[in-house]
Structure 1
């Protein structure tokens, strides 16, 4: 792991203080939080999203989507209850194929909330999903983890817990995420219990629940009821599930059963096609967008058939394929531009949006990774995404979760806090008093205005080295990845778990132990 065992606290250990950022990196991060963001558990953006397509072009994409839904249709496999819901609602059901009359889907979506709260166990960390709000969450789903000390290896439950601690400790991330890495040292049919338990005990931020089987989603909901109380869960969103379409144009029963469980319990769903152009969708961006739009909207509408008003997030994950090799590519310009169009479409339907993230196919936390990740992450920012999964740690085409890249990406998220904050234009920002004090030909370094704004004027990146070349060289010529390696170790060493009521902690542990004891281990 590259960290001493004594530096990592066991799951469930509590303290009288909330989790904090550790070491020099954490202290610098705290200093760089501008006054506009102090105490905010999410970003309220002051920069409007970009719109790049004309009304005519958007209408052509939408018309293609409605034609796909009405004429080609979408298959809903292995879920007779979902088919029955569609048939009752007036869709044409032919076996597992569902075709939707024009106007049906937008009408159903009128009950979906444009904005909702996902409550955290610490109310100060609850987040608003939708509107002008932006929530950053870690990367999700990697089977491998990676660091500079031990290289690439399968993820373990210890790695999973470490990433929760790093996310909890970052002032720039707002959400604990979900399957931050796959803990392959725990049985497949039981690991969801350990993962949800870790999110609850090691973080006091919102989190994503299990989606790999309906019974695992139900276990997540039951654990949330232990944590928040059954009545509160009935009336409020406290968990979300991230669900993928089986593109092209198929919703698999595993996903729709989980979708129905979350929606019936009034919990959030994030519904996401994962389209690799040329493989699961056309190579042309407009065609892939129309396909994704159809797939997402069908899933969103199904949540409203289950429970009108259930919180749902319109999701999208466009990517490309190397047509020379067939390998997936991430962080490329075509999907980035496509994300801006996806944002326009989601806003027309007044739905919260999850789109893009910090994507790369690089195998190391290097310039390649940051080039692709920056392009992709900025597309998420500029398309107006409200919930940005994969904000930190994504490497190797999502096959690996990198400790070093997690810290570098979290630092970039910090810069985006300031970027999305826009430009203040008030008496202090216009600085007339500074001009009067300094006058022509003098410097501003020691003037009263500079001193007054010293701590909040500029974002101070924790991983960056802004010293002169000679100073950097004398200190060992340390590169960014090595600085990030030090930072994650310092952060884990300083981590303290947020407090959790002992009776709740005991009840959760009893639930986990009982569930594990009720079935044999399965490893596939």
Structure 2
């Protein structure tokens, strides 16, 4: 079981001069040697009390009058019925669940408002909930993309590369989950390789598989090998990201996966993916009410299995091009929805996952970053605690981009400084900076400037802030081209965090036995 001397601690020799000063800056107020952010800026409360009450009442009405459909999980049905749900069997293995107003809120009282997800390097464990903010890379893309090879299906090599790049970033806190689909590994076995990649190539917390109940159980079992069974039973070390099937359906695979994670005392994220006009009302207030209803039903299942198991309320709002029917990302209306979900999560006293660096651009260009900033700022201002899709999201989530990953992580660095807020004291007010030389004199050499010049401002790894002539003489590279060079440099310099050899052998043996037990399935 990992302890303070866990493999994964930095074993590099200390450096001197400029490199040492830069390292010191990363460890300071703006750095992520902090394993997560503790926000020092307030959330933005968009709606009035009256409007919030109306949304909550509509969510209650949806659940009481229309209900939620549960498919192919008799145990989940039994748990809901035992808790007080009105259960009607529609066909064999399909039930309609209706909930009286207030029932689910009572069930959710046992869910923790904050919890720790432990990493194999204890210094990288994250705190989820409250004022804490955790950034994780994007999730679920079947394709990958870079400027050299274009768009193609993801492979296990791409998956490992993205884990390595995320581990290399000083601005991400979490390794994520299915950062891309490794389509060169059998569907029923790739979860083993993905979880192993997170364990082997990162020492941060991560998400496990959710695509089948046995894959969820395998993910938890690999964590038992890594951390020890007793530790896993007492602590959250892995989470699953679960989607309802909107509108208003909880399928058996999802329900069984939630039960597997909650039964092992592990975390679960409960996410309706709402495409306005297709699977939710076109108007954002209606989408928010539906999203709240679906997420509450899903979250409640975790508490019915094991009261106190970590659960995260979540939302994923998307607008739609009414001309083509295609999802659109990074638009203002879903951003407003994320702000409201923050208010609703705080009223439920639950951690929140929402928004991220969403975009529909097909290239890592100006559209990509404009849309991403609109979406990401809604998570920041709304009070999201766990921000999946913080880096790499391109092409409406169909593609995971090497260039966009490092572009987005650079933005995440700026958001660290933003969320730190502004400290006001005698030193930061800077009176002595003006008084030292008086009117008409520049401040470059003052004691105040020299004291703060290395830590006063966030320092981008990608921006080019030089004069036009200098930029032109150095090749006139645009942002995406600089990002292309950046991810290649990070991969070339990457060093895997050490891992106990006995644990590694145990993981490999478990994977081999599980793979040998069943034939490959490719769809």
**Same fold judged by TM-score > 0.5?**
yes
Q: Which residue of 1 aligns with 2:406?
A: 407
For each residue in 1:219-273, what CA deviation from the matched residue of structure 2 results, as whole angstroms up to 9, or x when unmatched? 0010000000000000000000000010000011110100000000000000100
Question: 1:432, CA displacement in angstroms?
Answer: 2.0
Unaligned ranges ≥5, structure 1: 1-12
Give the whole-Å Cα distance in 2 for the aligned partners of 1:451 and 1:209: 47
For each residue in 1:31-50, what CA deviation from the matched residue of structure 2 results, as whole angstroms up to 9, or x when unmatched? 46643546310000000110
Q: Which residue of 2 aligns with 1:262?
A: 261
Q: Which residue of 2 aligns with 1:416?
A: 415
Is 2:175 the partner of 1:181?
no
Larger relative contact order (C-alpha < 8 A, sep ≥ 6)?
Answer: 1
For each residue in 1:381-407, what CA deviation from the matched residue of structure 2 results, as whole angstroms up to 9, or x when unmatched? 000000000000000000000000000
Question: 1:28, CA displacement in angstroms?
Answer: 6.6
Is 2:90 the partner of 1:88?
no
Contact map agreement 1:32 1:456 (CA 8 A) in 2: no
Contact map agreement 1:137 1:173 (CA 8 A) in 2: yes
Find 1:35's aligned residue among 26, 29, 42. 29
Give the whole-Å Cα distance in 2 for the aligned partners of 1:266 and 1:142: 28
Summarize the alignment of residues 90-489 of structure 1 with structure 2, pairs less than 5 Å apart: 90-95=84-89, 96-489=95-488
Q: Which residue of 2 aligns with 1:73?
A: 67
Structure 1 length-normalised TM: 0.95
Give the whole-Å Cα distance in 2 for the aligned partners of 1:18 and 1:170: 16
Contact map agreement 2:26 2:170 (CA 8 A) in 1: no
Question: Following TM superposition, where does structure 1 have runs of at least 4 consecutive aligned residues deviating by more than 2 angstroms?
Answer: 13-20, 24-39
Q: Which residue of 1 aligns with 2:4?
A: none
Q: Name the SS of the counterpart of 2:115 in structure 1.
A: strand
Is 2:78 the partner of 1:62?
no
For each residue in 1:196-239, what CA deviation from the matched residue of structure 2 results, as whole angstroms up to 9, or x when unmatched? 00000000000000000000000001000000000000000000
Q: Which residue of 1 aligns with 2:509?
A: 510
Question: 1:15, CA displacement in angstroms?
Answer: 9.6
Cα gap change, 1:197/1:238 in structure 2, threshold over 3 Å: closer, same or farther?
same
Q: Name the SS of the counterpart of 1:207 in structure 2.
A: coil
Contact map agreement 1:18 1:496 (CA 8 A) in 2: no
Give the whole-Å Cα distance in 1 for the aligned partners of 2:410 and 2:32: 16
Q: Name the SS of the counterpart of 2:151 in structure 1.
A: strand
Q: Name the SS of the counterpart of 1:60 in structure 2.
A: helix
Q: Name the SS of the counterpart of 1:76 in structure 2.
A: strand
Contact map agreement 1:176 1:206 (CA 8 A) in 2: yes
Give the whole-Å Cα distance in 1 for the aligned partners of 2:112 and 2:313: 11
Question: 1:17, CA displacement in angstroms?
Answer: 2.9
Give the whole-Å Cα distance in 2 for the aligned partners of 1:266 and 1:353: 19
Cα gap change, 1:27/1:522 in structure 2, threshold over 3 Å: closer, same or farther?
farther
Question: 1:438, CA displacement in angstroms?
Answer: 2.5
RMSD of aligned Cα (Å): 1.8
* Count of residue correspondences: 509
Unaligned ranges ≥5, structure 2: 1-6, 90-94
Summarize the alignment of residues 490-505 of structure 1 with structure 2, pairs less than 5 Å apart: 490-505=489-504
For each residue in 1:344-385, what CA deviation from the matched residue of structure 2 results, as whole angstroms up to 9, or x when unmatched? 111000000001000000000000000000000000000000
Question: 1:435, CA displacement in angstroms?
Answer: 1.8
Give the whole-Å Cα distance in 2 for the aligned partners of 1:491 and 1:28: 16
Contact map agreement 2:138 2:393 (CA 8 A) in 1: yes
Give the whole-Å Cα distance in 2 for the aligned partners of 1:36 and 1:489: 25
Cα gap change, 1:154/1:235 in structure 2, threshold over 3 Å: closer, same or farther?
same
For each residue in 1:284-311, what CA deviation from the matched residue of structure 2 results, as whole angstroms up to 9, or x when unmatched? 0000000000000001111110000000
Cα gap change, 1:347/1:97 in structure 2, threshold over 3 Å: closer, same or farther?
same
For each residue in 1:428-472, what CA deviation from the matched residue of structure 2 results, as whole angstroms up to 9, or x when unmatched? 211122122121111111111111111101011111000000000
Find 1:45's aligned residue among 26, 39, 44. 39
Give the whole-Å Cα distance in 2 for the aligned partners of 1:386 and 1:26: 31
